[in-house]
Every structure is written in structure tokens, then in C-alpha cells.
Structure 1
Amino acid sequence: MTGSDARADDPAGAPVTVLIADDDAVTRSGLRTLLSVQPGIAVIGEAADGVEAVEEARRLRPDVVLMDVRMPRRNGIEATRQLLSGPADEAGSAGPPKVVVITTFENDDYVTAALGAGASGFVLKRLPVRQIAEAVRVVAAGEAVLFPAALGRMVTARPLRGAEALPKAALTVREEEVLRLMATGLSNPEIAQSLAVSLETVKTHVGNVLTKLGAQNRTHAVVIAYESGLVVPGFTG
């Protein structure tokens, strides 16, 4: 069981550790101050650009990196790709952190590219801090942060790197159903409740979907679903 899984099962466990990467010092300071008072979250570091974000993430090993997109030296997309493609830590006990992209622009093409680079989701800087904090907790627990309507608008005719047409024949009817529910932003427990199946069954289906689509994570799988036409903007299940 990973640290994130342990926290998801034990609310009284260790807090979710966060690294904030943003080139604006005022934004970093504000996020740090606001997130630090949220239950179950500990901000353990900051980075002013993409190069520093990768370096500090590998040094501090946070659970989640809150990653701005537009930063000097290396933007958030490339930093995300580099960070998530790296090896486990030297002790071999942990993989890379989860990445949540934080941006001012709801329809920014850079955000879609960041999701394709492996980010687990995105949040908007204008959201109330409690929602940003909840996004951090959700991602740390192994879920994805999805805003379906916004994500649907962001998916354009230009495909994500690595995205392919959905191999519908490879997915079972149930797996397609699970993927559609993932696209509405439902968590595994919510999907289980919706389909009246066990949580373990849902986890198996989600794993099969990711494997068959060659998706890096849940978010990437949903983007592929949008691009393939299996899910259309405005779909609510």
C-alpha cells in the first residue's frame, strides 16, 4: 500500500505533502499560506520555474506538485513530462509525485498538453482554496481531478501526443461504461455505487481501460475518450 493509499483509507494519517511551482512569488506565497491551514495538507516547498520544480520535487519527494504552466527556463508541461518520466527514488520505495496543473486559463491548450504529459488533473487559480485543497487530496489518493465540460472544450482536432483513436473493439461494454463515468469526474467509489458493483470490480475495470488505451492515467484516458468521440462535451452520464 502506498502512502497515498494509506492516507485515503486513514483520514488521521500523515498529511498530503505539497510542492508549489509558480513563477509569481505573490501567487506562491498566497497559495502556501492558504493551503497550509487546510486540514490534511502540508506545503513543504516552493519552486520558481520548471527546472527548480523538478529539482525540488526529486529532493523533497512531495506527494503532489501544484504546477503552473507558464514558467521560465522550463514550462510546466516539460517539467511535468520530465518529472513523471523519471525513475523511482534512490531507495526504490516511491515513484514520482502526482502533478496537478494550476492555471489561469480554462481553455489553454498548454493545459491539455500537460495532461498528456502525465498530469493527474488541473485546477483554476480562481477557484476557492478549499476546492484546490480538495483537488490535492483527491489526486494524492490516486484519483484524477477532472472538470468534464472544460476538458471537453479543450480537446481540439489536434491530438495529444500519444493519443490514438479509441480501440472500441478492445474495450468490453462494461469498460466503455466505466470510461464514460470516469469522464464525468466520478471517483471509483462513486462509479461502484452508480453501477451497483464492488469497488474492487471498478478498480479492475479502470486498470483494464488504462492498459488497453495505453493511457498514462485516468485523465489521459478521458482525453482519449473525448478525442475519439466516445464521450462528447456536455456528457453527464
Structure 2
Amino acid sequence: MKVLIIEDDQFHATYLQEALAEALPEVTEIFHAADGVAGEEEARQGEIEAIVMDLQMEHRNGIEAARTIWAERPQSRILFWSNYADDAYLRGIAQVVPEESAYGYVLKTASRDRLKLALRAVLVEAQIIVDREIHRLQKRGTAPRTRLDDSEFDVLIDLALGLQDKSIAERRGMSLRTVQNRLLSLYDKLGVSSDLDEHLTLNKRVRALNRALATRTINIETLEAAQRDLKTWLAGRR
């Protein structure tokens, strides 16, 4: 069994190599790539289907690298290993993972034993596993009633990209009224109105983006990927 580690921190890469050797005696070769671009090429050339990957990397983040790898090899099993429990990451993974693939998401703060269990569950047993600690941190930061649903999140992404309501409606296949309702809902859930001075007139779209970044509902990696998707959509319109 060949495993690819995609990790830009050499200390973390070495730690993963040791954990893999302990947890998976089936492993015959371990490869290492220092960023997402190199990881995509290594997975392609080595025909590797078991991967452990960081999410935050220069040149190409983990979700973008996974999108490419899964597009070419949809049965690849990927365990994401990250310092961050952002809701944006979970949504991003859910949007690109093929139905036939297995994946996992574990924090770098997880114990070695928990990491080893996740490695076996995802890479060998092809299970889908998300560390309980990720869900716990998300629940602590966001009450269920304030969690954005998928359509609200899509509208938020398009708002962050600078699209006006009419363009959002066209891109998402919604009516203009639906887009406006989604905006009102996400303003409420992000606390845009409640955190404003009633005597000031501030731009709610900008405030929504500010709140979304502050609460890590979206992050820079999400916006970078969304910008690439927007360029593809715009090219298709022409």
C-alpha cells in the first residue's frame, strides 16, 4: 500500500510518517510532497489512492488539491489533517468529495492514538470520519439556529466575491426575491444588525463579510477557490 503525505511543515510530515508506520503495517511506501501542486503531481504519477493532507498550504490549499486528485482518481481516500476546525473547510470538502470516496478530518491537536485510529479508518477501511473535537469546537462557536444552510452560504460566498443580487440569482438558479430573503437571513444569523450602532448607516454586505471572516464561517482558502469557480462560470456565460 502506497501512501502520500502532502504537508508543508517538515516536522509534521515526519510525525505523520512515524504514525503511519505504527498504525498501518500494510504500508509499503510513503511519499511526501511539500504543497498541493506537488501533491497533485505525485498522486498522478505514483497512482496513489491513500493520502494524508494538510489544508492550509502555499501555492494550492488542501481542498483545491483534493478537488484535482478526486477529479482524476475519484476512489482516492484522503485524511485531512489541520490546525483549524473552520466550518468553511467542512463545507469545501463536502462540495468536492465524490460519492465513491472516503475521507476524514482530524485536528493536529488530536492525540497520536486518535490520529492512528483515523489513519486506519479512512485509508484502510474506507470510512468517513470527522473528529468529534471539530464538531465540538464548531458548536461552541456557532449555535444551531445561527448556522447558515447551504443556500445561505452560497449567497454569502457570492456576496464576498462582489456579485450583485441579480448576478447571484442567475448563478445560483434562484429568483431575485429568494436571494434577497437569503441575504436577510444570513444578516440575522451573522448578527449584522445587532452589532451596529442604530445611529450609523453602515453597509450590511460589508458587515456580513466582516462577521463571516471574524467567525471563520468563510476563510481565505474558501474565497480563493470561489474566485476560480467564478472565473469558470463567467467564461461559460460568454
Task: Name the TM-score, length of structure 2 as normaliser.
Answer: 0.51
Contact 1:67 1:100 in 2 (8 A): yes
Whole-Å separation in 1 of the counterparts to 2:78 and 2:24: 20
Aligned to 1:66: 52
Whole-Å separation in 2 of the counterparts to 1:146 and 1:74: 22
Aligned to 1:99: 78
Aligned to 1:210: none
Structure 1 residues 59 and 125: alpha-carbon distance in aligned structure 2, compared to 1, 3 A threshold? same
How far is 1:158 from its partner?
5.5
Aligned to 1:135: 118
The 5 A counterparts of 1:79-94 are 79-86=65-72, 88=73
Structure 1, unpaired ranges of 5+? 1-15, 89-94, 165-237
Overall identity of the aligned pairs, in %: 26
Contact 1:98 1:139 in 2 (8 A): yes
Aligned to 2:108: 125
Structure 1 residues 114 and 146: alpha-carbon distance in aligned structure 2, compared to 1, 3 A threshold? same
Greater per-residue helix proportion? 2
Matching of residue 17 in structure 1 with residue 2 in structure 2: yes
Whole-Å separation in 2 of the counterparts to 1:23 and 1:145: 23
Structure 2, unpaired ranges of 5+? 155-171, 173-238
Over the residues paired in the alignment, what is the CA RMSD in angstroms? 2.8
Aligned to 1:27: 12
**Per the alignment, in what secondary structure is the counterpart of residue 128 of structure 2?**
coil
How far is 1:25 from its partner?
1.3
Aligned length: 140
Matching of residue 115 in structure 1 with residue 94 in structure 2: yes
2:130 aligns with one of 132, 146, 151: 146
Contact 1:83 1:96 in 2 (8 A): no
Contact 1:65 1:100 in 2 (8 A): yes
1:77 aligns with one of 56, 63, 70: 63
Task: Name the TM-score, length of structure 1 as normaliser.
Answer: 0.51
Q: Deviations over 1:155-204 (max 9, x none)?
A: 9416277xx9xxxxxxxxxxxxxxxxxxxxxxxxxxxxxxxxxxxxxxxx
